[in-house]
Structure 1
């Protein structure tokens, strides 16, 4: 078993999308950090007010894939589906 790392950026196209991130992010962070296999999860604003830095670490591919599935079916996933994600994943 090897850890899975995701790093990258969530890139909003305007204030409407920023408001969606700000509204839904606290619960998304809380739920993700509570997931089995989540070792590290941070989403932080950058100097660019439209861009958020995302860094994740999961204990293995199974826990990472379970996270991805949960997110796709979550309120966060639905509300932010149109926001660009520029991510790189290691360990899959």
Structure 2
């Protein structure tokens, strides 16, 4: 079964928006890493551009990734980061 890899960026429009995302990130990370099939979940805020976050995620299967997306759909993270630009590449390997 192929793994799902997600890489890319979250791009905030303001420092306020970026700070809000950063404040929500620890709990979102904790919950995601506890999900079945989450093999890697890393989001890093850029030091050179604090409105930009690098994303690297790996899920064991497409089903695990789908479950992650379903869980987060109504989460505090989703509500708090609504509208933030996501430039993500999703691949199965």
* TM bucket normalised to smaller: over 0.9
- 1:75 aligns with 76
Any stretches of 5+ residues in structure 1 without a counterpart?
A: none
CA distance in 2, matches of 1:81, 1:69: 15
CA distance in 2, matches of 1:54, 1:70: 18
- 1:59 aligns with 60
CA distance in 2, matches of 1:33, 1:7: 16
- 1:10 aligns with 10
Q: Deviations over 1:15-55 (max 9, x none)?
A: 12112112100000000000000000000012211100000
Figure out how many residues of one structure are paired with residues of the other and give that number.
92
Any stretches of 5+ residues in structure 2 without a counterpart?
A: none
- 1:25 aligns with 25
CA distance in 2, matches of 1:42, 1:13: 21
Q: List structure 1 segments (4+ residues) > 6 angstroms apart after TM superposition.
A: none
CA distance in 1, matches of 2:67, 2:74: 11
- 1:90 aligns with 91
